[in-house]
Chains A and B, each alone.
Chain A
Amino acid sequence: MLLSVVVLLPAVVGLVLVAVPRLPDAVASWTWLATTLVVAGLVAWTWWGFDPGGGVQYDVKVPWIPTVDASYHVASTACPCRCWR
């Protein structure tokens, strides 16, 4: 769940930013900054809670097209943790 929030939060905020009419420019910029900081913080938190020897963690799998076994499957492994820095 946390992972899905981390991944999708920026897009949701982005959508809100374009959908709300008459948003002052400064508000938009600061919202953007705030969102990225929040996401970075969440990523740091997942990194903190990550056990290096534990393989795949924070696993979420929601079946999408069952007949071909495509699913919304996100998880945290060591490599992406680093790539997120």
Chain B
Amino acid sequence: MLFVACAVWSLRATARPRTHAALFLLLETTCLGTFAALDLILFFLFFDLSIVAMYLVISGWGHGDRQRSALMFFLYTFLGSLALLLGIIGLFLGSEPRTFDIVRLAADPPWRDDPTTAGLVLLAVGIGLAVKTPTVPFHSWLPPAHTDAPAEGSAVLAGVLLKLGTYGFVRIAMPLLPDAWQRWAGVVIVVGVAGVLWGALVALAQTDVKRMIAYTSVNHMGYVLLSLGAVGYTTAEAGPRAVAATGAVTQMVSHGLLTGALFLLAGVLWSRGGTYAFDRWGGLARPAPVLATLLVVAALGSLGLPGLSGFVAEFQVLSGSLAAVPVAAVVAVLGILLTAGLLLRALQRLLTGDQVRPGGVDHVGDVTTRERLAVAPLLALSVLVGLVPVVLLGVVGPAANTLVELTSR
């Protein structure tokens, strides 16, 4: 869906549209391929190619210090993918008989009787995926990449590419290394909570809308990690852990929809005035009511208002982890409070008060049809999941149960 939204978004004039379109289509293939792959090498292939494609998008159509941000993105995430490759090779070498096939590896997890090696392999895989997710402390590539990427690039980056990381955890790290995951679940939980808090705190301090949204991404991914870690706590019952797993997946979906929408809306700001800074915009509710509405919906969803998908996700994450690791869950609630605060404040600064516009912009046009068509479906889906979660949970529930089973071996 996100890719459709980006396609609609870019129907307006873009430089070099052929290459732009082609690159996004390539990105789409790499993402779809990563999600569908059931072979480690195939997974890695698509994983790596998505980095190349995103690099080209940022360097070619971004703004600001785009070459440098694109390079940093490439180098940092490539480092992560190399660590992942080491982990994949470790998995391959530990399997009996030697295979790269995920299904076979899940049926007979490698390195069962060698906890040290299993731990090291999990470390390699973990670091690789952690850079992509991104988790604290490997997240420093995200804000510059987002700030300097074009709007549709950011939307795809946040909405889909980050999911590649968390999906990797669910597909590779947990089923294939169950004991190691159980043993190190505590670390995962700490990292998740750190992400929640750090993301929210730093987002509070931002003066730039896009950077703020970027840090909320770090915050949201922290929730995912928290619940995935909770799944590994086999001392708790299976029921809440399945809820946590479902929460993780729901959060992945919800974050994609909502943050994607937020980035596209931030792109509206850029196209109108060429700046993302908070103090250059203000009081937009009056001249651009539709924009304001969309922004409010997206932001509220992001902080977890009931009725939108974010609430469903965070509720599941928290209730699931509460049973397993109560302390961490309570700390994570703090994160929700912080996020609520910062998003509401952002809304206030952007939408209410006196009209403030960057110099040289005398009329802030409301969202065009194209932009509306792009953003609205994303938000609509989020509302749908929020109000009728069974649509999503019916599919995800059994899978979450399977995940819990696989990880508990």
Categorize the interface residue count of chain A.
35 or more
Contacts of B40 in A (CB 8 A): 70
Are A83 and B35 interface neighbours, CB within 8 A?
Answer: yes
CB closest chain-B residue, reference A50: B395
- Which residues in window 39-73 of A have CB below 8 A to B? 39-40, 47, 50, 52-53, 55-56, 59, 61, 64-65, 68-73
B12 to chain A, nearest CB (A): 9
A23 to chain B, nearest CB (A): 6
Which listed residue, B29, B100, B104, B396, touches A68 by the CB 8 Å rule? B100
Are A78 and B396 interface neighbours, CB within 8 A?
Answer: yes
Contacts of B28 in A (CB 8 A): 10-11, 36, 39
Contacts A7-B29, A52-B394, A82-B395 given; indicate if A73 touches B18 (C-beta within 8 A): no
B133 to chain A, nearest CB (A): 14
Which listed residue, B18, B26, B101, B257, touches A25 by the CB 8 Å rule? B18
Categorize the interface residue count of chain B.
35 or more
- Which residues in window 6-23 of A have CB below 8 A to B? 6-11, 13-15, 17-18, 23
Q: Roughly how many angstroms separate A18 CA and B22 CA in the complex, as a whole number?
A: 7
Contacts of B402 in A (CB 8 A): 55
Q: Roughly how many angstroms separate A47 CA and B392 CA in the complex, as a whole number?
A: 11
Contacts of B23 in A (CB 8 A): 14
Q: Roughly how many angstroms separate A32 CA and B20 CA in the complex, as a whole number?
A: 9
CB closest chain-A residue, reference B164: A83
A residues lining the B interface (CB < 8 Å) = 3, 6-11, 13-15, 17-18, 23, 25, 28-33, 35-37, 39-40, 47, 50, 52-53, 55-56, 59, 61, 64-65, 68-85
Extra contacts besides A9-B29, A18-B18 (10): CB < 8 Å = A10-B25, A11-B30, A14-B22, A36-B3, A52-B394, A64-B41, A69-B98, A70-B40, A72-B42, A73-B38
Can you identify 22 A-B contacts, CB atoms within 8 angstroms? A17-B22, A29-B10, A29-B11, A36-B4, A47-B395, A52-B394, A69-B98, A69-B100, A71-B42, A73-B38, A73-B42, A74-B42, A79-B170, A79-B171, A79-B403, A80-B35, A83-B160, A83-B163, A83-B249, A85-B2, A85-B253, A85-B256
